[in-house]
C-alpha cells in the first residue's frame, strides 16, 4: 500500500528530472537542542540517506547535494573532521568493505563497483566551488586556443558546459535550500541559470518526505 501511495503521489506531481540540494542548517538545528554542531551533521547525513529512497521512488533521476564547499575548510578542525568521517563511512557502506586508504581511493572504488548500475544517480559535491569550476573550464578552453586547436569565436555555451565537473549531468530542474538562507553560496552558478529555486525555513535534519 505504501508503494502504491508513493506511485499515486508521483503521478499527481510534475517530477523534476534533476534535483539539487543545499542541505543547510545542521549546526543551527543542533544548537537549538543544546548539542554540538557535529551532532547535527550526523543526523543530517541520515536524512540524505532517507532522501535517496524517497526521490528514487518519486521518479527523480539525478540527486545532487552540496556536502562540502571550498569555504568549509575554514570551519573548526573538529567540524571538518566530522564531515570527513561521515563521508568515509558513507563510502565504506556503499562498497561494503572496510576503508583502509584515503577518500580518493574510496571514491574510485565506488565508481568502479557501481559503473553499470541503473536508477537514481546520486552526486556529492565535495570541496566544490562554482567559480573555481568555471575558472578551470575556461583554462581548458584557453589552452586549446593557445594550441590553435580552437578559435575564440567558436567557443559555445555547450563547450563550457562540457568542461565543467557536471558535464555528464543535465542541469538541475529544481534547487532546494533549507534553513531559510536565500543565496547560492557559490553552488552550481552556471548550471542553475534556468532552475526553479525553492527556499524553506526547515533545517536539513528536519527535512522529510512531506517537505519534499
Residues forming beta bridges with residue 139, ordered by sequence position: none
For residue 169, the model assigns a pLDDT of 96
Cell of 13: 506531481
Residues forming beta bridges with residue 152, ordered by sequence position: none
Count of residues for the chain?
A: 212
> CB within 8 A of 30, min separation 6: which ones?
36, 37, 38, 39, 40, 43, 205
Cβ distance 21 to 196 under 8 Å? no
For residue 13, the model assigns a pLDDT of 73
Round to whole Å and give the CA distance between 186 and 177.
13
Round to whole Å and give the CA distance between 91 and 101.
12
Q: Where are the alpha helices (DSSP H) in 59-173?
A: 77-95, 103-114, 130-146, 157-162
Round to whole Å and give the CA distance between 63 and 174.
10
Catalytic residues: 24, 72
For residue 161, the model assigns a pLDDT of 97
For residue 100, the model assigns a pLDDT of 45
Residue 87 or 23, more confident: 23
pLDDT digits (tens, 9 = 90+) for 76-105: 676 666 666 766 666 656 554 434 445 677
Q: Which of 144, 148, 201, 142 is nearest to 176 (CA)?
A: 201
Cell of 198: 525553492
Residue 161 or 24, more confident: 161
Q: Which of 38, 80, 44 is nearest to 202 (CA)?
A: 44
Round to whole Å and give the CA distance between 122 and 204.
17
Of all helices (H) and strands (E), which one includes residue 62? strand 62-69
Task: Identify the weakest region by mean pLDDT among 16-25, 59-68, 99-108, 158-167.
Answer: 99-108
pLDDT digits (tens, 9 = 90+) for 149-204: 999 999 999 999 999 999 999 999 999 999 999 999 999 999 999 999 999 999 99
User: How far is residue 57 CA from its own chain's centroid?
Assistant: 18
Cell of 23: 542541505
> CB within 8 A of 184, min separation 6: which ones?
22, 130, 175, 192
Round to whole Å and give the CA distance between 57 and 206.
20
For residue 82, the model assigns a pLDDT of 66
For residue 180, the model assigns a pLDDT of 94
pLDDT digits (tens, 9 = 90+) for 113-130: 777 777 789 898 887 899
Amino acid at each position: 500500500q505504501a508503494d502504491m501511495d508513493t506511485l499515486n503521489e508521483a503521478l499527481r506531481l510534475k517530477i523534476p528530472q534533476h534535483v539539487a540540494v543545499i542541505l543547510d542548517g545542521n549546526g543551527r538545528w543542533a544548537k537549538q537542542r543544546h548539542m554540538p554542531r557535529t551532532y547535527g551533521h550526523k543526523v543530517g547525513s541520515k536524512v540524505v540517506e532517507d532522501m535517496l529512497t524517497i526521490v528514487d521512488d518519486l521518479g527523480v533521476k539525478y540527486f545532487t547535494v552540496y556536502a562540502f564547499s571550498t569555504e568549509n575548510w575554514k570551519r573548526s578542525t573538529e567540524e571538518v573532521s566530522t564531515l570527513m568521517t561521515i563521508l568515509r563511512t558513507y563510502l565504506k557502506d556503499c562498497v561494503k568493505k572496510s576503508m583502509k586508504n584515503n577518500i580518493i581511493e574510496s571514491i574510485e572504488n565506488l565508481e568502479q563497483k557501481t559503473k553499470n548500475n541503473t536508477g537514481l544517480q546520486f552526486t556529492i559535491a565535495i570541496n566544490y566551488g562554482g567559480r573555481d569550476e568555471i575558472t578551470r573550464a575556461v583554462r581548458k578552453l584557453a589552452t586549446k586556443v593557445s594550441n590553435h586547436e580552437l578559435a575564440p569565436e567558436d567557443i559555445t555555451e555547450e563547450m563550457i558546459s562540457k568542461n565543467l565537473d557536471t558535464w555528464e549531468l543535465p542541469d538541475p530542474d529544481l534547487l532546494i535550500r533549507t534553513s531559510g538562507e536565500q543565496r547560492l553560496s557559490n553552488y552550481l552558478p552556471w548550471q542553475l541559470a534556468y532552475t526553479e529555486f525553492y527556499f524553506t525555513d526547515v533545517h536539513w535534519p528536519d527535512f522529510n518526505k512531506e517537505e519534499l
